[in-house]
A and B are shown apart, each in its own frame.
Chain A
Amino acid sequence: MKKADAVPFVSARGISKSFAGIEVLRDVDLDLAKGEIHALLGENGAGKSTFAKILAGIHLPTRGTLSLDGRTIEVSSPVAAQKLGITLIHQEPISFPDLSVAENLVLGRSEDGWFSRVPWAEMTIEAQRSMDLLGVHIDVARPMRGLSIADQQMVEIARALASDSRLIIMDEPTAPLTPREVETLFGIARRLRDEGRTIVFISHRLEEVRALCDRVTIFRDGDKVATDTIGNLSDVDIIRLMIGRPLKEYIHKHSAEIGEVALEVQGLTLPGVFHDISFSVRRGEIVGLGGLVGAGRTDVARAIFGVVPATGGVVKVDGKAVHIDEPEEAIALGIALVPEDRAAAGIFRTLPVEQNITAAVPDRIAPTGVIRRAIERSLAQDSVAKLRIRLASLNQPIGELSGGNQQKAILARWLLVDPSILILDEPTRGIDIGVKAEFYDMIGELASQGKAILLISSEMPELLALCDRVLVMAEGRLTAEIARSEASQERIMSAAVPRVEAAA
């Protein structure tokens, strides 16, 4: 490809970075050409985000040099990066919610003195022009608060263009976006590339990388392991390079002994949310619950767990009808729910990992009502070892762990309860491939221990690989129950699409 042969626009040589003595990036050499979209791939913690942050001046490299157009540069701060024409767009964009869109656009650009005048009129006109240039319709006078994440990203991109950034780094921009928003973003990214700008794109989604990027660089454990044109690599190659092992090891083969019915629901109804839901899950069985986002799957799980109880229908645990109004009652019956949105419902961000893991078993760590630190610590340590949670210390606030490891810690919390029925709501969302595979192994392992597992997932390959049966919901109703042998992506999808379309 000619782009790769051109004089590099940005060139990194021997970039290394250590945090507290631990090397997270080792001797990375990387060239970025003008007018290319370059993907950075790797598992969480592989170093791709650290590298991006070094480019953007958020971290300083421990060793190594960067040059721009052949000149050595020092990117000492995000403001310095901005002046050099380098902008990093975060997944959750940095914004000042109380300030207007226009102010968010210009903040940090001017180098004027403290008491220089803020040119409101010019600022607003210029901001509106940048939004128009991008082709997005956002009122620049409105406050940033309440803007969708997609729109906030657009404001960030407009900001990058307003300061004429030549290198735009997007750190997992698509994770919180809808498919349509992703298309808009890609359209804009391609346009910027065609204008000769360089875009670095970080993502976990291979299909997106394929759709958008020209070249790809793969990181693993702090090393750059490959840079190549995307067309030269198959998905299998990429995954092998990312995880350092062939993919087939990670396809789960589940063969647990299926026992008695552990959880059964009949005619479960919550008006306006879901209707007449009936299914059962046996010991040792993994039952998938598929469907589109918003189909009511999470609501069913929350109803069973007693968060927002259903108003009609019966829930039976081990054959006995039970009445669950509170999560406490569900826990007492041996049910555990690992929620989808761990940030909102799962973790205590600022508390140590240790306390997060033991949060659901107060009776075990405090048999007399006073917490016994030694028990707490040993329970947490066992979990960390068993689930291979990567952390610096048990005292670390859980918010500092990567998404996958946070999710493992939450799973660990519920495993300590030793539930007989485990409801997992999108357990692998936002987790990279290697950790996902570990999760799949764990879920299979739990099933073979005789636990009944209800797995809510939007990822069809996950449902197909793991589940004995797949239930599908659409618009609050159960639309299909598919045995493993008959399950296919097409069958799940056709049941997940609302009926109106099927009738048409």
Chain B
Amino acid sequence: MNALGRILARRETGIAVMIVLFALAVSLYKPQFLTLNSLRVILLLTPLVMIAAMGQMLVLVARHVDLSIGSMLGLSAMLTGMMFRDLPEIPWGLGFAVSIGIGTLLGLVNGALVTFFRLPSIIVTLGTLNLYRGLTFIVSNARQVDRQFIPADLKGMSQTSPLLGIPWIIFMAFAVALLTYWFAMHTRVGRQIFALGSNPIAAPLRGVKVTQVTLLVFAISGALSGLAGIMYASRWGFVNPSNTGFGFEFQVIAAVVIGGVSINGGVGSVLGVMLGVLLMGCVAAALPLLGIPGTAQSAIYGAVILVALLIDRSVRRQGIARFKAARA
């Protein structure tokens, strides 16, 4: 009872239950939802969100928020795409370094504004969300980078697979998640991020270098947005100044919050975030399958998120109650 209560009390259990219930419910109407192929579809919808969600998790754990990720994705993807277009001889692998580098720089700007000017991150990143999007239009002259300019090898990463028919970019997303897990749970600075978010006033008294740690989480969020940027180019084969990364922050923050990361800081797990991303992916894959018209999808998407949070809360309440009863 005690161990069961402990497991039930975990946020991850609530989301896992939600995913199973959701998949079963959809399969009542469309049995093909429970096939390996639809799992592939779901997974293909998730890698970009998963990568950016890892960065967002660290930012939220530190008691900040990064709203600018979609625009950082867009700007770094655009600059990288333009590089491919204007310098076609450049090795395609360099695109990763460029995109991640640009993202890191943009993230550092966010972090610097938050730390050195003591501005609330929600305002800073709301500002840079618009600033970076505007810069994307300026540098690109509002022109899309078309399919023929994106290197074939880069696009191949979303189609070719090293194993089990699963494309490279999905493995990359899981690798990022694994790395984030190691970083968050097993390095000293990772734990300092949790300490900072859990009690920002006390953290410096325990030797947490608040400025550096805050800069770091925003830089990581930017770097991962940059990585998601080049993966966008790989996945969709073009970069468009208005569409690329537009509304991305909504999907990512929703997945992270469903995944149990507290917006009050200090709490979050990589497994929870992965499950949150997966649940969002399930919903995104199921809606067209159920023939729900495009006009209604956005509303249903939002409603599912709210329902998921409510169910999760009640599952955990019961778990905690059982846990307490078992201890008493």
Contacts and interface: CB of A to CB of B under 8 A. Distances in A.
The answer to whether A and B come from one shared complex is yes
Interface of A: 58, 78-79, 94-99, 103, 107-108, 110, 112-118, 120
B52 to A, nearest CB: 22
Contacts, number: 66
B242 to A, nearest CB: 39
Contacts of B195: 96, 99, 103, 107
A115 B199 contact: no
A94 B200 CA distance: 11
A103 B194 CA distance: 11
A58 B201 CA distance: 13
B185 interface: yes
A117 B207 contact: no
B190 interface: yes
Contacts of A99: 191, 194-195, 198, 266
Given A96-B199, A98-B198, A107-B206, A116 B188 contact: yes
A97 B188 contact: no
Contacts of A94: 199, 202, 205-206
19 contacts: A94-B199, A94-B202, A94-B206, A96-B198, A96-B199, A97-B266, A99-B194, A107-B192, A107-B195, A107-B206, A108-B205, A110-B188, A113-B188, A114-B189, A115-B187, A115-B189, A116-B187, A116-B188, A118-B188
A95 B197 CA distance: 12
B198 A117 contact: no
B298 to A, nearest CB: 34
A58 B205 contact: yes
Given A79-B207, A108-B207, A98 B194 contact: yes
Interface string B170-185: 0000000000000001
The CB with the most chain A CB atoms within 10 A, among B190, B198, B205, is that of B205
B199 A95 contact: yes
A97 B202 CA distance: 11
Contact of B202 (A79, A96, A98, A114): A96
Given A99-B191, A99-B194, A118 B199 contact: no
Contacts of B197: 98
B198 A97 contact: yes
Interface in B188-228: 188-192, 194-195, 197-199, 202-203, 205-208
B267 interface: yes
A273 to B, nearest CB: 23
B186 interface: yes
Nearest to A112: B188
Contacts of A117: 186-188
State the 5 A-B residue pairs at the shortest beta-carbon distance, nearest first.
Answer: A108-B206, A98-B266, A114-B189, A96-B198, A98-B198
A114 B205 contact: no
B205 A78 contact: yes
Nearest to A57: B205
Most chain B beta-carbon neighbours within 10 Å: one of A79, A108, A116 = A108
A501 to B, nearest CB: 26
A79 B194 contact: no
A78 B202 CA distance: 11
